[in-house]
Homo-oligomer: A and B are copies of this chain.
């Protein structure tokens, strides 16, 4: 029986753009586990109330449900030790946690204003008021204002990629010769943009772009086949 994944969807139900759900899609493919995704929308709190919280990703594996992408990755490695590991050793897991926080605390705040309006426009109409209200309360400004100074932001984003870019100058993946969950974390963030926005985030000669191509082609092209904007 495939693992079920509640996966954030846009107005088109097959537009799946959550960076956190992408982490899990990649992790499941990495571990060669079958998945059945269930489109989920921001306002459908009751659909995942069984998980004890109101956010995706949530997976259901037989009798068990697990939420939070980091917890899911650890659950998958613990539950399926004979499948390819998301973390080769405990130090790799600990260091991937650093990458996770770098992604969420450094990269995300730079990317969010670049993508916020695009995300908004791709939502179902019935989900838009909730998201507008939530994001405006969080940022303290109108959604439209978030997208100003796009050019500066884009430069900041590309600068923020420096440690990744440098690491990729001497290895194919963040985790070395093969990807691990740290790669999936950062790829998920870029896939967020690719699935929701026509913004050209990376120059084609950027090692980060080249690495993303590599990631897009993994697992029978899982990432590259996603509904989005192939820029």
Partner of A162, one of B106, B180, B182: B106
Task: Tell me whether A119 is interfacial, beta carbon within 8 Å.
Answer: no
Q: How far is the CB of A84 from chain B (nearest CB, A)?
A: 12
Q: Does A88 contact B (CB under 8 A)?
A: yes
> Could you say how many copies of this chain the assembly holds?
2
Q: How many chain A residues touch B (Cβ–Cβ < 8 Å)?
A: 32
Give which listed residue, B94, B166, B167, contacts A171 with CB less than 8 A. B94
* 68-99 of chain A: CB within 8 A of chain B: 87-99
Q: Which residues 158-185 in A have Cβ within 8 Å of B in the complex?
A: 162-164, 166-167, 170-171, 173-177, 180, 182
A101 within 8 A of B: yes
- The distance in angstroms between the C-alpha atoms of A105 and B168, with both chains bound, is 14
Residues of B within 8 A of A88 (CB): 89-92
Question: Are A106 and B163 within 8 A (Cβ)?
Answer: yes
* Cα–Cα distance between A98 and B98 once the two chains are bound (Å): 10
The residue among A93, A95, A164, A170 with the most chain B CB atoms within 10 A of its own CB is: A95
Top 4 closest pairs, chain A to chain B, by CB: A94-B176, A91-B92, A89-B89, A95-B95
